[in-house]
């Protein structure tokens, strides 16, 4: 889901000779999440996910930068009938594999993103011990994708 957006963004960037940017990835995340709300309906999302109503409203409006990864994953999992834990695990696996391929450590990654996170905080977010927003996810994924190419 979210990691598939990154793969699509990287392919587009290669064809356009542009770099993958956090803004482009975040825009794709916004589309993914808002379309999931539209497809499944706000009531079904609220009933099946337990995500806060304000967060669902923001997601429906396409404002997802502050939305937690787990909430975004829960929303996009509903219309696809996917398990939310699997979606989150796939994202984390994609991040860790990307870091290994790009030869990035958490301190280098923290220094390369605009989010005010230390290397330790990035590590905790990657491991799921601390919350990560979709905005932070977009920044982290963009850095990884640029370093891999």
Mean pLDDT value across residues 39-60: 95
Q: Which residue has the higher pLDDT, 129 or 18?
A: 129
Locate tokens 């450590």: which residue? 105
Token digits of residue 106: 């958490």
- Asked if 87 contacts 29 with a C-beta cutoff of 8 angstroms, the reply is no
| CA distance linking residue 114 with residue 32, whole number of Å | 23
Confidence check: pLDDT of 41 > 80: yes
Residues 74-115 have pLDDT tens digits of 999 999 989 999 999 999 999 999 999 999 999 999 999 988
Averaged pLDDT score across all residues of the chain: 89
Q: pLDDT-derived band of residue 20, with 50, 70 and 90 as boundaries? A: confident
Closest CA to 5 of 22, 28, 24: 28
Which residue blocks in the chain are alpha helix, DSSP H? 2-16, 22-40, 42-49, 53-61, 69-80, 84-102, 106-112, 119-127, 134-148
Mean pLDDT value across residues 63-72: 96
Give 130's DSSP letter: S
């Amino acid at each position: 889901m979210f990691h598939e957006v990154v793969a699509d963004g990287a392919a587009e960037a290669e064809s356009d000779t542009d770099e993958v940017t956090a803004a482009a990835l975040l825009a794709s995340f916004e589309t993914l999440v808002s379309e999931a709300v539209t497809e499944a309906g706000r009531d079904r999302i609220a009933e099946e996910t337990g995500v806060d109503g304000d967060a669902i409203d923001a997601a429906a409006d396409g404002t997802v930068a502050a939305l937690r990864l787990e909430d975004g994953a829960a929303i996009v999992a509903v219309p696809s009938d996917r398990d939310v834990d699997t979606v989150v695990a796939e994202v984390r696996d994609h991040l860790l594999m990307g870091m290994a391929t790009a030869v990035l450590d958490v301190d280098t990654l923290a220094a390369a993103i605009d989010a005010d996170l230390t290397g330790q905080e990035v590590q905790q977010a990657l491991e799921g011990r601390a919350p990560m927003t979709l905005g932070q996810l977009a920044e982290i994924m963009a850095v990884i994708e640029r370093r891999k190419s």
